[in-house]
Amino acid sequence: MTVKVAINGYGTIGKRVADAVSVQEDMEIIGVAKTRPNFEAFMAKKKGYDVFAPEDRIKGMEKANLEVEGSIDDMLERADVIVDCTPGGIGEKNKPIYEKAGVKAIWQGGEDHELAGCSFNAQSNYEEALGRDFVRVVSCNTTGLCRVIKPLDDEFGVNKARVTLMRRAADPADIKKGPINAIVPNPIKLPSHHGPDVKTVLPDIDIATTAVKLPTTLMHLHTINMELNSECTAEEVEALLAKQSRVRFVGQGITSTAEVMEMARDMNRPRSDMWENCVWNESITIYEGELYFFQGIHQESDVIPENVDAIRAVMEVEKDGTKSVAKTNKAMGI
């Protein structure tokens, strides 16, 4: 079975999901939706994707000399599943459209858990999403946390996790957000929402999070502290994380997120994306019985392989999460 996938919203996440889906052997892109004829819409067309638009936007697209295949409804008629990559809050408004069309839908972390009723991370709860009509892929930060908490909990037991998230202020192409010259506690009221979001995937984890926004666009940085139920060494933790296919150790003189992204460029990654958690293995420390380490999260791309796995799960073309992760990784080059 080749799954027919539509993408609603061809921006930072949508265009990356489209490219990731297009290299999978068991799925294909049947169309992407845009609301305006910007450079991304023209690039989608140049890449060979059929472009669709809301009914009331088609004339504007055609006036800009962008060929449109049809409306959103026309795109949904061709699709088995739609990946909604619209801005947070917009996806909720699209749910009735998907329900009417009878297509399965996958949303992003900007939407609330209740919208889909299932929040997804491939290595944590793949089986929970099997055959479901609606799934939400959790945010970049939650994805990164689940990827390390789940194996550590399975191996040693996590009694409590405390995480400080140093968040980038905006994506590189975002000219509307800040700060430019400030550190912003965000949110002021603690703990932050990131811990509860982790619990939508791993409900038994005791986790508290705080967050600040920094004047950078490259990556998020997490400072992770965990109380584990079983005694272990830093070497044992490092060995466990080394086995995780979506965790990459960074060393060899890399001391900043800027150098991590430079490494991604040198690896010839598409858009210099870093799909894996970037853990500084030198930072892995057991101090007074507690675990500490740093990890970097590329906010534009770490959720992309998760979306591919979510497609397989809802369509049940692969019921084994481990096998789906392996397929996605191989096709994407992870």
Annotation-wise, does 102 bind a ligand? no
R_g of the chain computed on alpha carbons: 20
Annotation-wise, does 117 bind a ligand? no
Annotation-wise, does 299 bind a ligand? yes
Structure tokens, 111: 């939407």
Cα gap 170→174, rounded to integer Å: 6
Annotation-wise, does 251 bind a ligand? no
Query: Terminus-to-terminus CA distance in the chain, angstroms?
Result: 24
- Contacts of residue 27, defined as CB under 8 A and 6 or more positions apart, other chains included, come to 2, 3, 4, 5, 21, 308, 311, 312, 317
Write out the catalytic residue numbers.
140
The answer to whether the CB of 242 falls within 8 A of the CB of 212 is no
Annotation-wise, does 141 bind a ligand? yes
Annotation-wise, does 304 bind a ligand? no
Annotation-wise, does 146 bind a ligand? no
Annotation-wise, does 194 bind a ligand? yes
State the CB neighbour count (10 A cutoff) for residue 191.
15
Annotation-wise, does 24 bind a ligand? no
Cα gap 319→180, rounded to integer Å: 46
Annotation-wise, does 9 bind a ligand? no
Structure tokens, 84: 């909604």
Residues of the binding site for D-glyceraldehyde 3-phosphate: 139-141, 194-195
Residues of the binding site: 12-13, 110, 139-141, 168, 194-195, 299
Residues of the binding site for NAD(+): 12-13, 110, 168, 299
